[in-house]
């Protein structure tokens, strides 16, 4: 039996690609023939995915898993395919965030939203990676949407962190604030910088802010962020890292004291969970899926009053009991995304939604 995955884009490091990569390993371990196909494949990931044109040129598999996260012509082409199809919904960022910054990205996000409505009865099963995403699809008219939390292979994160990053953070002293995520208007790195400036002015003049994430397609926003840091007088402590290798990313998590998110739109928010895994307390704006993802493992706020946010950051740093409470809650929360737990649900959902293809006998240990 063949089960293939199709993605709009494939890279190393983003949540959708990581999920597809993990699923491929799991499907192969269960005895399925399987491959990953993508419309856009980053050069450093070309050894792991195949151009989507090969997918459409080949005989249909027994099941196609389509990771949905943006508008693409692939969606319309899949409509004409005869095989059973499973959509895994990662969410589509609202287009208005990209107007004036990246018009092509705004167009693709509008297309993604339009196709979501048009295709609400074209998939044989739909899995949403968060309850926030599930409710969104139900509001759009989807009749059956199953919640499937993304499995995160936490053993990958137990590798050695980059020693140079650790030395740099140790030399600078800190405290170190961290945000991980692509430079993007919806993630509101501008508000992270504003909160950092207030924190440094009111509580911690030696604090540093580390923004880890690529700015591809958002270069004008990145330049605006640099100008903002300069205008607020914190350019000397604001570090734009860009793309980080995995060992470098681990180094920033190991060396951070706090994880600060001001994002206004997240379909799940994997970096929030990564911070929890490393025992980094989370302070986050309660928007979109963030409250669900964080649960009781962080301090959430609904208003972006930067002096008040700075006070929350100081409270976490100065109140050892609170910090320990958040760290312990975070370590419990990440267990909800353990591979064995998530894959057990995946197997059960496949058996329920595709009884002619899966009888529940395919289950194998996740790791």
Mean pLDDT of 238-258: 97
Please tell me whether residues 105 and 168 are part of one structural domain: no
Does 190 share its domain with 103?
no
Q: State pLDDT tens for residues 299-342.
A: 999 999 999 999 999 999 999 999 999 999 999 999 999 999 99
Contact indicator for 69, 56 with CB cutoff of 8 Å: no
Residue 187 and residue 106 share a domain:
no
- How confident is residue 13, by pLDDT bands cut at 50, 70 and 90? confident
* CATH number of 88's domain: 3.40.50.2000
Q: Is residue 88 part of a domain?
A: yes
> In terms of domains, do 104 and 235 share one?
no
Instruction: Answer yes or no: do 272 and 172 share one domain.
Output: yes
Contacts of 189 (CB under 8 A, 6+ apart): 179, 181, 183, 211, 221, 225, 262
Strands 63-68 and 3-10: what pairing?
parallel
Q: Model's pTM, two decimal places? A: 0.95
Do both 307 and 232 map to the same domain?
yes
Indicate whether 191 and 263 sit together in one domain: yes
Q: Determine the 3-state secondary structure of 181 from DSSP.
A: coil
Q: How many angstroms separate the CA atoms of 363 and 64, rounded?
A: 19
C-alpha 219/C-alpha 360 separation (Å) is: 47
Average pLDDT for 75-95: 96
Domains: count for the chain: 2
- Together in a domain, 260 and 291: yes
> Does a structural domain hold residue 367?
no
Give the pLDDT of residue 40.
Answer: 96
* 54 and 79, same domain (yes or no): yes
- The pLDDT, as a whole number, for residue 357 is 86
Are 170 and 215 in the same domain? yes
User: What is the overall mean pLDDT for the chain?
Assistant: 96
Count the alpha carbons within 13 Å of 82 in the hemisphere toward its beta carbon: 3
Whole-number Cα distances in Å, 273 to 145, 151, 284: 23, 11, 12
pLDDT at 366: 57
Residue 366 in any domain: the answer is no
State the residue range of the domain holding 30. Answer: 3-151+338-353
Cα atoms in the 13 Å half-sphere on the side-chain side of 243: 8
Q: Is 121 domain-assigned?
A: yes
Neighbours of 335 (CB within 10 A): 10
Q: How confident is the model at residue 296 (pLDDT cuts 50, 70, 90)?
A: very high
Residues 243 and 279 in one domain: yes
Q: Residue 362: inside a domain, yes or no?
A: no
Report the 10 Å Cβ neighbour count for 363.
Answer: 16
Cα-based angle 267, 274, 152 (whole degrees, multiple of 5): 75
Look at the alpha carbons of 325, 326, 327, 332 in this order and tell me if their dihedral is positive or negative: positive
């Amino acid at each position: 039996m063949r089960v293939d995955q199709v993605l709009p884009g494939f890279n190393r490091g983003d949540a959708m690609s990581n999920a597809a990569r993990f699923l491929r390993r799991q499907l192969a371990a269960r005895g399925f023939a399987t491959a990953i196909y993508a419309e856009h494949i980053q050069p450093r990931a070309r050894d792991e995915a195949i151009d989507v044109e090969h997918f459409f040129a080949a005989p249909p598999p027994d099941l196609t898993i389509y990771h949905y996260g943006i508008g693409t012509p692939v969606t319309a082409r899949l409509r004409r395919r005869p095989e059973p199809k499973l959509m895994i919904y990662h969410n589509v960022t609202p287009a208005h965030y990209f107007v004036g910054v990246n018009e092509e990205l705004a167009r693709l996000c509008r297309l993604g939203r339009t196709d979501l409505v048009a295709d609400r009865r074209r998939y044989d099963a739909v899995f949403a990676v968060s309850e926030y995403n599930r409710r969104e699809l139900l509001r759009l008219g989807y009749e059956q949407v199953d919640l499937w939390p993304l499995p995160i292979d936490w053993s990958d994160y137990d590798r050695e962190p980059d020693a140079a990053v650790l030395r740099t953070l140790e030399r600078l002293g800190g405290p170190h604030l961290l945000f991980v995520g692509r430079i993007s208007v919806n993630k509101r790195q501008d508000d992270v910088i504003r909160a950092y400036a207030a924190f440094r002015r009111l509580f911690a003049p030696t604090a540093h802010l580390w923004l880890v994430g690529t700015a591809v397609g958002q270069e004008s926003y990145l330049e605006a962020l640099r100008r903002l840091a300069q205008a607020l007088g914190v350019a000397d402590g604001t570090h734009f890292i860009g793309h980080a290798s995995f060992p470098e990313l681990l180094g920033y998590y190991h060396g951070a004291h706090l994880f600060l998110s001001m994002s206004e739109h997240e379909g799940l928010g994997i970096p929030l969970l990564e911070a929890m895994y490393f025992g980094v307390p989370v302070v986050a704006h309660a928007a979109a899926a963030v409250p669900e993802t964080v649960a009781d493992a962080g301090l959430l706020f609904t208003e972006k009053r930067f002096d008040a946010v700075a006070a929350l950051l100081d409270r976490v740093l100065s109140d050892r009991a609170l910090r320990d409470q958040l760290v312990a809650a975070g370590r419990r929360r990440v267990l909800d995304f353990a591979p064995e737990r998530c894959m057990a649900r995946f197997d059960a959902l496949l058996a329920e939604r595709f009884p002619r293809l899966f009888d529940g006998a395919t289950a194998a240990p996740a790791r």
